[in-house]
Amino acid sequence: MTTATGAATAELAALLGRARAGMAFTGAGISVESGIPHFRGEGGLWTKFDPYKVAHIDTFLKEPAQYWTYSLNHRRTDAEPNPAHVALVDLERRGHLRAVVTQNTDGLHQKAGSGRVVELHGSSHAVVCLDCETRFPRAEIDRLNREHCPPSCPACGGRFLKPTVVLFGEGLPVEALRDAQSLAMAADVVLIVGSSLQVYPAAGIPRLALEHGAEVGIVNAEPTPFDDRATVVIHGKAGEILPQILSRMASA
Ligand code: NAD
Ligand code: ZN
């Protein structure tokens, strides 16, 4: 394991350069430099709000209006991808990454231009009716929401419209989980960016890759429980470090 930034930058560039079936695994930390707060760790949302009050499925079902009001007031709709998202697009185009598996729900990987994004925790841009299962774009429901909160389903009148974001107490979307598992089992390299690696089952994906022989590189602001098993670990800001790695690869 390397932690000295100069040598680690070269080592991570070499690791990614060798990747032929690479996979990125990202968490909330990659979007912090886009202005979206993360959950755990210094300055995280959970230091200010109780997750079980605002983001648990039971609370949502009891009081959807409370969830929607929180969400309308706290969700950033104008966030833009930062250089870390862009670096992952570059790695994919150069053939070093097959996909980005993300725990994020902000859609910034897609906005940056990543071709294959597996969303393990759903999307804050899509809303589903829990009664008739019709899906709607978030912007449409936000419009209704401003007139009447909680909004009801435009198709069936049902009372429970929910962003496809996976709340505490809910399972992960089966298809996304299956996709992520097969990418992990086939991966030669996994690049982990901005994740505390404390949230399961999502953190089981890089673990599965490790068990199937993948090498791991980590870029995260704080130490993670996987640091000891990684080939390279760099502690710092993803939006600064990833572009450095890319320029080192370009000049190699
Ligand atoms: P987390 O909040 O548990 O961990 C984020 C990690 O990123 C922390 O270890 C932190 O030290 C690190 N970090 C902070 N700023 C960074 C930066 N600039 N560069 C690199 N690392 C940085 O997030 P998680 O591991 O994704 O798991 C938490 C859950 O939060 C997930 O379920 C996810 O769905 C959800 N979430 C998503 C968003 C989003 O969509 N952007 C935002 C908040 C939470
Ligand atoms: Zn409906």
Distance from Cα 76 to the centre of ligand 2, integer Å: 26
Question: Rounded to 5 degrees, what are φ and ψ at 25?
Answer: -125, 115
This prediction has a pTM of 0.93
> Are residues 187 and 237 located together in one domain of the fold?
yes
Q: Is the CB of 103 under 6 A from ligand 1?
A: yes
| pLDDT score of 3 more than 90 | no
> Within this chain, do residues 178 and 147 fall inside the same structural domain, yes or no?
no
Mark which of 102, 134, 165 sits at the end of a domain. Answer: 165
Local confidence band at 46 (pLDDT 50, 70, 90 cut-offs): low
Nearest to 36 by CA among 99, 82, 89: 82
104 and 213 co-located in one domain: yes
Ion ligand 2 residue ranges (Cβ < 5 Å): 129, 131-132, 153, 155-156, 158
Question: 150 CB less than 6 Å from ligand 1?
Answer: no
Q: What is the pLDDT of residue 45?
A: 64
Task: Tell whether 23 and 96 lie within a shared domain.
Answer: yes
Is pLDDT at 44 greater than 70 in this prediction? no
Query: In total, how many domains does the chain have?
Result: 2
Residue 174 has pLDDT above 90, yes or no: yes
Q: Is 109 a catalytic residue?
A: no
- Among 6, 9, 33, CA closest to 217: 9
Tell me, in angstroms, the distance from the centre of ligand 2 to residue 120's CA.
Answer: 24
Q: Quickly count: other Cβ atoms within 10 Å of residue 26's Cβ.
A: 27
Annotated active-site residue in 38, 96, 121, 125: 121
Both 32 and 55 in a single domain? no
Q: Which of 26, 31, 33, 38 to mutate to test the pocket of ligand 1 (most atoms within 8 A of CB)?
A: 38
Higher pLDDT, 54 or 157: 157
Q: Render pLDDT for 206-220 as a digit per residue (tens, 0 to 9).
A: 999 999 999 999 999
Report pLDDT for 50.
74
Q: Domain range holding 129? A: 37-75+123-165
Token pair listed for 217: 């590189």
Kindly state whether residues 246 and 195 are assigned to the same domain: yes
- Grouping H, G, I as helix, E, B as strand and the rest as coil, residue 219 is strand
- What percent of the chain is modeled with pLDDT above 90? 77
What would the pLDDT profile of 113-150 be if each residue is shown by its tens digit? Answer: 999 999 999 999 999 999 999 999 999 998 888 888 89
CATH of the domain at 148: 3.30.1600.10
Above 70 in pLDDT, residue 48?
A: no
Best of 39, 205, 245 for a ligand 1 pocket test (most atoms within 8 Å of beta carbon)? 39
Report the alpha-carbon distance of residue 44 to residue 37 in Å, rounded.
Answer: 6
Give the integer Cα–Cα distance in Å for 59 and 56: 5
Residue 47 has pLDDT above 80, yes or no: no
Alpha helix locations (H) across 94-223?
108-112, 138-147, 174-186, 204-211
> Which candidate, 98, 100, 94, places its Cα nearest to that of 26?
100
* pLDDT for 1: 45
Ligand 1 centroid to residue 123 C-alpha, Å: 15
Same domain, yes or no: 86 and 211? yes
Residue-level pLDDT at 2: 42
